[in-house]
Amino acid sequence: MNMSGEHRVMENLTHQLRGPLTKDMKHAAAALDLPLAKSAMTLRQIYADAPGQGKVVWDMGTRAAEATTEVRYLFKELFPDVTKARTIKPREQVA
């Protein structure tokens, strides 16, 4: 739900070049009349590594730069009212 109260269902497809699963998901979404997010998240090892290290990708430095950009674009698309006023910043490290 965005800040105006409007309900929207958006499906984010993992971007895989010529992937049959991605095509099937797109067809299923179309058949169910579900809108698709324009932003895509590529299958990356960093997404699996982050939770195991107790972090989010934007806290993982330069090796996660592309993933951080993907997440930012997706958040901006899915939550435009929220992301206007906020930026994604690394969390402060607790000493």
Is the Cβ–Cβ distance between 12 and 40 less than 8 Å?
yes
Instruction: List the one residue out of 31, 39, 48, 46 whose CA is nearest residue 10.
Output: 39
pTM for this one? 0.62
Per residue in 28-75, pLDDT (tens digit) is 888 999 888 888 888 889 999 999 999 999 999 999 999 999 999 988
Q: Is the pLDDT confidence value at 95 over 60?
A: no
Q: What is the pLDDT of residue 57?
A: 93
The span from the CA of 42 to the CA of 33, in Å, is 24
Q: What is the pLDDT of residue 36?
A: 81
pLDDT in tens, 64-75: 999 999 999 988
- Phi then psi for residue 58, to 5 deg, are -75, -5
